[in-house]
Structure formats: structure tokens, C-alpha cells
Structure 1
Amino acid sequence: MSIKTIEELFVHELSDIYSAEKQLTKALPRLARAADDPALADGFRTHLAETEGQIERIDRIVEILDIRLKRIKCAAMEGLVEEGKEIIDSIEAGPLRDAALIGGAQKVEHYEIAAYGTLAALSKQLGYKDALPLLLDTLEEEKATDKKLTLLAEQGGNQRAARERKAA
């Protein structure tokens, strides 16, 4: 893989996040099933619907810019999804697992925030005026999801895990 221009970098980064979002659509239902807290499970299901919309936005960007995505697999998301599987396999269902799932989900959100922020900056630099609002919409959704996860942790998720530890 040789990237020689900013346009090629944009296509590479868009291809990478497309792969990441596709991987996430497979992981989110598993995370929802593994969550003990109904609000967390609902959050994962809501994010699945948002992720599907984000994939549609990427498809629109591809169409608008008349570009072809590269067939690559996002290694970062692959690792984050694997961490989620390890959490599910190694922590018994309950508040502690939920706390770990929230932390893992925030890692995913922070990765996506970085990716979409980079794509938005590249889009501005390249003058992709029609693609930029789509990227910024997704960036704002990712930031909002991160805030929701923080609230879930602060409003009980982590406290329940701490109380469970003290009771043991």
C-alpha cells in the first residue's frame, strides 16, 4: 500500500473507517446481549442503528466524490472488537462486565472520533464541500455516543460494580 497524495490518504482513511463501521455492526448485537443493564443494552442497540446510518453516509460520500473504497480491514477496530469478546468471555455477567463494556465502547468511540475528525480535516483541505457535512454529522453522533456512555458510567454503572466488589 503506497499512499502518495492527500486524495489517496482520504480514500484510505475513508476505506478504513468503512471497514471499522462494518465490523461494529457485527459486534454491537453481541455487546447488547452481554450487557446486564437494560439502559446499556438499549444504548448498544441504538448505536447499531446509528452505525448503519453512518455506513449509508459513507456510501453517499463515495457516490458524491465518485471514488472507490479500498478493500482493507481496519486492524484497530478488529483489535477493539476482540477486546470486547475477551470482556464477555472473561467477566461474569453483571455490573463489573457492564463497566468493562462501557470502557471498551468508549475506546471504540474515541477511535471513531479521531477517524472522522481526520476525515473532516482532509475533506476541508481537499475542498470536498458536499462530503464535509456528512462527515461532521457522523463526528457529532460519535461524540454524543461517547457522552452517553460517560453518563451511564457516572450514573450508576461503575458504582454498581464497586458495590459488588465490596459485597464480595
Structure 2
Amino acid sequence: MNQLKTMRDLLAHDIQMMYSAETQALEGLTTLVESATEPQLKAAFKKHGTETQRQIARLEEIMTAMDLKPSREVCSGIQGMLADVEKLLRKEATPQVLDAMLIAAAQKMEHFEIACYGTAVRMTEDLGMTQACELLRQTLEEEKRTDEILNEIAIQRVNAKAEATM
């Protein structure tokens, strides 16, 4: 889509970009799972991978309803965050600091996705797209929950261990 003339055009573009973001994030979650050393963190990443697959399916359902195809464009926001993770993984780090870094990186991606889904929920509400709105709202709540879980793991387990390595 080369032109954005209406709010629906903008929503279509955003849905396609979120699809790209989620498929990229799903690939990146594999790296996070493999790199994490804290069992709770590994489990949280695995669980979110399953959720992400459902989120992709919801976006596909919305794209079908809107007569859209997945875009070939790459979501540069997620691409950049994943590139940053790869750079950090090449640095020497203790397992504790590595886990703290992985949580921080994952939360950055979650916050990006929360912003995207929050905006899309608003647009679908304004456009009267009830079904799409409900699907997007489900995903928004999952993203918020994942962010909370990561925050709890950081507070209860990871950050104190990372600080103790100083």
C-alpha cells in the first residue's frame, strides 16, 4: 500500500506492520529462550512464544476480514531491537547480567508492541470494527501481562543476582 488516504488505510498499514513485528519477534524469542539461564525466564519466553503464535493468527484473521495480505516490509522497530540483542549477546556477561539484559530487551519489544496494539485498538474502535477491536484488545492485554511477568521475574529473581555480581 503506497498511499494512506484514509484512517482505514493507516490501520491496514499498521496491521501489516504488526504482523511483520510479531513474526520477527517470534523468531527472536528463540534466541531469548536459548540464551536465558534463569528457568522462570526461559519458561516466560516459551509461554510468550505460544501467545505470539496466537497473536499472529489473530492478525491473519483481521487481515482476511480487511482483504489484506501480509506485507513484505520489515518492521524496522523490532528489527533494530533484535539487532541490539544480537550485539549484546556477543559481549562477555555473567549469566545473571545476561538474564537482566534479556529481560530489558524483551520489555523494550513488549512496550513497542503495547504502543502499536493500543493505537490499533483506538483506530478500530473509531472505525466501528468491533471484531478486529476485540481481537486486538486480547493481544494488547497479553502483551501487558507479559511485560508484568517479566518485571516480576526481574524484581524477584534476576536483578538482585545481577547486582550481586558487581
TM-score (normalised: structure 2): 0.95
CA contact (8 A) 1:11 1:68 kept: no
Q: CA RMSD in A?
A: 1.1
CA contact (8 A) 1:31 1:101 kept: yes
CA contact (8 A) 2:18 2:75 kept: yes
**Counterpart in the other structure of 2:88:** 87
For residues 26-52 of structure 1, the C-alpha deviation after alignment (integer angstroms, 9 at most, x for no partner) is 110111110111111111111111001
**Counterpart in the other structure of 1:23:** 24
- Report the Cα offset of residue 70 of structure 1: 3.1
Q: Which runs of 5+ in 1 are unaligned?
A: none
1:46 aligns with 2:42: no
Structure 2 counterparts to residues 142-161 of structure 1, below 5 A: 142-161=143-162
The one-letter amino acid of 1:148's match is I
The one-letter amino acid of 2:73's match is I
Instruction: Report the count of equivalent residues.
Output: 165
Q: Distance in 2 between matches of 1:93 and 1:25?
A: 25
For residues 49-80 of structure 1, the C-alpha deviation after alignment (integer angstroms, 9 at most, x for no partner) is 10010000001111223333433110000001
Q: Distance in 2 between matches of 1:65 and 1:16?
A: 14
Q: Distance in 2 between matches of 1:34 and 1:93?
A: 12
Identity across aligned pairs (percent)? 36
**Counterpart in the other structure of 1:139:** 140
* Residues 1:19 and 1:160: Cα distance change in structure 2 (over 3 Å): same
Q: Distance in 2 between matches of 1:48 and 1:14?
A: 19
The one-letter amino acid of 2:113's match is E
Structure 2 counterparts to residues 1-168 of structure 1, below 5 A: 1-165=2-166
- Report the Cα offset of residue 83 of structure 1: 1.2
- Report the Cα offset of residue 91 of structure 1: 3.6
Q: Distance in 2 between matches of 1:36 and 1:8?
A: 43
* Residues 1:43 and 1:3: Cα distance change in structure 2 (over 3 Å): same
Q: Distance in 2 between matches of 1:5 and 1:71?
A: 21
Q: Distance in 2 between matches of 1:93 and 1:33?
A: 15
- Report the Cα offset of residue 93 of structure 1: 4.7
Q: Which runs of 5+ in 2 are unaligned?
A: none
2:90 counterpart SS class: helix
